[in-house]
Amino acid sequence: MSIWHPDDDGHADLSSHDTFTAGPPHNTFARLRRDDPLHWSDWSGGKGFWSVTRHADILDLNRQTDLLSSARGIRMEDQTYEEYLARRTFQETDPPEHSQTRIKVAKAFSKPVIAGFEGVIRDLCREILDDALAKGRFDATKDIARQLPMRMLGRIIGTPDADLPWLVEKGDALIANTDPDFTDHVLDRMKTDEYRLMPFNSPAGAELYDYAKRLMADKAARGDTDGVLHLILQPGPDGSVISETEFRNFFCLLVAAGNDTTRYSIAAGIHALMHQPGLLDDIRSGAVDETMADEIIRWATPTLYFRRTATRDFDMHGKTVRAGDKVLYWFASANRDEAAFDAPFRVNLGRTPNRHLSFGQGGPHVCLGMWLARLEVRVLFKELAARVQSIEPAGDAQFLRSNFIGGIKTLPVSVTLQ
């Protein structure tokens, strides 16, 4: 399996979504970290881009938002200014504008507020595991990893459980918009620009927005002012109010980003349990409760990269990045950087400190949902380890077709219960 024994030739095409169907090309990342830490790639789908692959370099650049801006797009694809304005969320803004929006929802995702969900999460984990483990053989991504963040999403935004499968299907169509298993509108194979002003260049964005409008109208009719969707509509510290377009895009972001990243962290963790003996015992020992979630999330690195755009020329590693150039921070590479982690290709659930960059640490855009993700992962694996004796592969794992989101989309397993 390529996560454990990468088999790319060290010169993989990072611009190609197909490259990543065999898992991240870690031999290529290792070569770039060693020999070419600021690497230029040409790209047939648009302007070429720089790749930053060392942990220390990403940390150094990520805080310099005046030099490397999020306000021109955060994925590889080029956007016109019109497309940027139509599709942006606060992910695609810089401080201080970013902070004005973020501050409205920070409390809802803060550690003390999220900690209050632990009981709800444990109950959901037990329901999910009751159903899945009873099957003996099943797809662990579909039956476990996909379930927990989807059902928590319903609790966070206040939607009926019956709506969740539809919502998550639409969220997948957005964020996995390069994988034909998840969308009919595969981004790099599309023949139309009809959806270019929609979130993620996808018609699913429009459907989600209609849903959000109905949801907010229903909530208003009931006098329900709970939850993060209400918070985002309130004026910020400077009195600014979010526009209708920004609200649409924020809703899409919640549905898409809150779902697949935690899903693929859980999937990568279950995959690790099958390939590295002793992890289940480590979890059962109780000695890694505080550290295991971060290590699983480091191991998974679901967001492979985020892009920035240079605001002026600068030199680095003997090369010159020009104003307007796209610069990719490859978190997937940084999280396997031998200079930052002992034995980075081993899962060490007790790893301390664990300065992984899966949440985009080191800059203002650090993941808003990181406390929720950590809590979901910790509780799920504690509950799983308490029930199963062993987990074995029951078929080939399949990776998402995306160079942006890394994940095991199909993970056949068979379990032996305790």
Partner 1 sequence: MKATWILPDGREIAAEVPAGRNLMEAALAANVPGVVGECGGSLSCATCHVHVAEDWFAATGTAGDFEEAMLDVSDTPRADTSRLSCQIVMAPGLDGIVLRVPQA
Q: Which spans of this chain sit near partner 1 (rule: CB under 8 A)?
A: 59, 62-63, 65, 95-96, 98-99, 102-103, 106-107, 110-113, 237, 353, 359, 361-366, 370-371
| Alpha carbons within 13 A on the beta-carbon side of 13 | 12
Q: Which amino acid is at 385?
A: A
Amino acid of residue 181: D
Residue whose CB is less far from partner 1, 73 or 362: 362
CA dihedral of 182, 184, 188, 189, whole degrees rounded to 10: 140
Tokens of 180: 């034909």
Q: What is the smallest separation between the CB atom of 153 and partner 1, expressed in angstroms?
A: 21
Q: Using the minimum distance from each CB to partner 1, give the nearer residue, 102 or 382.
A: 102
- Beta carbon nearer to partner 1, 209 or 329: 329
Strand-by-strand arrangement of the 137-139 sheet: 137-139, 412-417, 388-393
Give the nearest distance from C-beta 341 to partner 1 in angstroms: 15
Q: In this structure, which amino acid lies at residue 114?
A: I
**C-beta of 60: minimal distance to partner 1 in Å?**
9
> Shortest gap between Cβ of 364 and partner 1 (angstroms)?
4
CA torsion, ordered 196, 197, 201, 206, to nearest 10 deg: -130
- Contact, 98 vs 365, CB < 8 A? yes
How far does Cα 138 stand from its chain's mean position? 24
Complex with partner 1: residue 320 or 352, whichever CB lies closer: 352
Q: Which is nearer to partner 1, 28 or 358 (CB)?
A: 358
- Minimal distance in Å, beta carbon 62 to partner 1? 6
Q: Of the two residues 97 and 207, which places its CB atom closer to partner 1 in the complex?
A: 97
User: In angstroms, rounded to a whole number, what is the distance separating the alpha carbons of residues 186 and 201?
Assistant: 10
Distances (CA, A) of 396 to 140, 347, 350, 399: 12, 21, 28, 10
Q: Closest separation between CB of residue 114 and partner 1, Å?
A: 9
Q: Are strands 137-139 and 412-417 parallel, antiparallel or unpaired?
A: antiparallel
CB of 122 to partner 1, least distance (A): 20
Residue 179 or 376 having the CB closest to partner 1 = 376
Q: Which amino acid is at 282?
A: D
Kindly state the smallest distance separating residue 261's Cβ from partner 1, in Å: 16
Whether the CB-CB separation of 6 and 25 falls below 8 Å is answered with yes
CB of 383 to partner 1, least distance (A): 23
Locus of tokens 């150094």 = 60
* Nearer CB in complex with partner 1: 158/364: 364
Contact partners, residue 223, CB within 8 Å, separation at least 6: none
Handedness of CA 63, 65, 68, 69 (dihedral sign): positive
| Contact yes or no for 323/44 (Cβ under 8 A) | no
The structure tokens 């034909």 sit at 180
Least Å distance between CB 238 and partner 1?
Answer: 9
Nearest CB to partner 1, comparing residues 296 and 384: 296
Residue 315's DSSP bridge partners are 320
Note the Cα 226 to chain centre separation in Å.
Answer: 26
Q: Where are the alpha helices (DSSP H) in 223-321?
A: 228-232, 244-275, 279-285, 292-300
Of 263 and 365, nearer to partner 1 (C-beta) is 365
